[in-house]
Amino acid sequence: DAGVTQSPTHLIKTRGQQVTLRCSPKSGHDTVSWYQQALGQGPQFIFQYYEEEERQRGNFPDRFSGHQFPNYSSELNVNALLLGDSALYLCASSSELGAVVETQYFGPGTRLLVL
Amino acid sequence: AQSVTQLGSHVSVSEGALVLLRCNYSSSVPPYLFWYVQYPNQGLQLLLKYTSAATLVKGINGFEAEFKKSETSFHLTKPSAHMSDAAEYFCAVSDGGSQGNLIFGKGTKLSVKP
């Protein structure tokens, strides 16, 4: 059973460019959340997708957007990249069925460097 | 609002010694609490979670954590450290909903000396 997968593993961009990161959830999971982890910090919640719609959003600007596809995979898009967007981007998947609280399972992350 | 404070950004223990990583939480609702571990250049792996079923929670790799409401704490322990336990550990609290979005502490880096 494949866990959460993310691509690419590493990415280098320059300021002002746009980037798309991809995530495939764990088998059987229908919910995808994205987190940003800056160096030396804990992950920060960006947003969550369920049934192809953004269900919750953290304190991130509109430059950060996403999409969920019918097969539950997801993309994170960041426009007009800033140096401060350099971070590890983590995708987590979960399933709503029958849980008191959903447990999130994380992928290995995509490390983005903005120059 | 929910928040988590991890005391000690870096903890060093000898192999075979007790591991104690501290986490205090603040939550306006009964909390759901989690511990995750992150090995270098990897994502987060769930160690254990508290969802109000039992105050002492056992996790993987010999770790356990005890929920203490009076102290608003959820400290992580392991009786005997192994070299393979060297990693960064994150305590997290659910944001108050059942969707499981997490608010993380800043992490504690555990070093294990031979």
Burial B8-39 (b: 16+ CB within 10 A, else e): eeebebeeeeebebbbbbebeeebbbbbbbbe
Indicate whether B29 pLDDT > 90: no
Q: Cβ separation of B106 and A43 shorter than 8 Å?
A: no
Q: Is the pLDDT of residue A21 over 90?
A: yes
**Shortest CB distance from A106 goes to which of B44, B101, B106?**
B44
Please state, in angstroms and rounded to a whole number, the distance separating the CA atoms of residues A60 and A57: 8
Q: Does A24 touch chain B (CB under 8 A)?
A: no
- pLDDT tier at B22, thresholds 50, 70, 90: very high
| Chain-chain contact of A94 with B102 (C-beta, under 8 angstroms) | no
d(CA A107, CA A26): 9
In the structure, what pLDDT confidence band is assigned to residue B51 with cuts at 50, 70 and 90? confident
DSSP output for A49-105? EETTEEEEE-S--TTEEEEE-TTS-EEEEE-S--GGG-EEEEEEEE--TT-SSPPPE
Contacts of B43 in chain A (CB under 8 A): 4, 90, 106-109
Look at residue A1 in the predicted model and tell me its pLDDT: 64
Tens of pLDDT, residues B1-17: 788 999 999 999 999 99
Lowest-confidence segment of A47-56, A62-71, B45-54, B55-64 by average pLDDT = B45-54
Q: Which amino acid is at B99?
A: Q
Given a cut of 70, is residue B28 above it in pLDDT? yes
Closest CA to B20 of B91, B71, B79: B79
B73-B79-B82 Cα angle (round to 5): 115
Q: State which residue of chain B sits closest to A107, comparing Cα positions.
A: B43
Q: What are the φ and ψ backbone dihedral angles of B33, each rounded to 5 degrees?
A: -125, 150
Nearest to B113 by CA among B35, B10, B12: B12
CB-CB neighbours of A11 under 10 Å: 15
Which ranges constitute the DSSP H helices of B52-111? none
* More confident position, A71 or B27: A71
Give exposure, A71-100, as e/b (b: 16+ Cβ within 10 Å). ebbbbbebeebeeebbbbbbbbbbbeeeee
- Which of A103, A105, A110, A113 to mutate against chain B (most B CBs within 10 Å)? A103
- d(Cα B36, Cα A90) in Å, to the nearest integer? 13
Model confidence at A99: pLDDT above 80: no
- Condensed to tens digits (0 to 9), the pLDDT of residues A43-73 reads 999 999 999 999 889 999 999 999 999 999 9
Q: Which residue of B has its CA nearest to A111?
A: B41
Average pLDDT, chain A: 93
Partners of B22 in the beta sheet?
B7
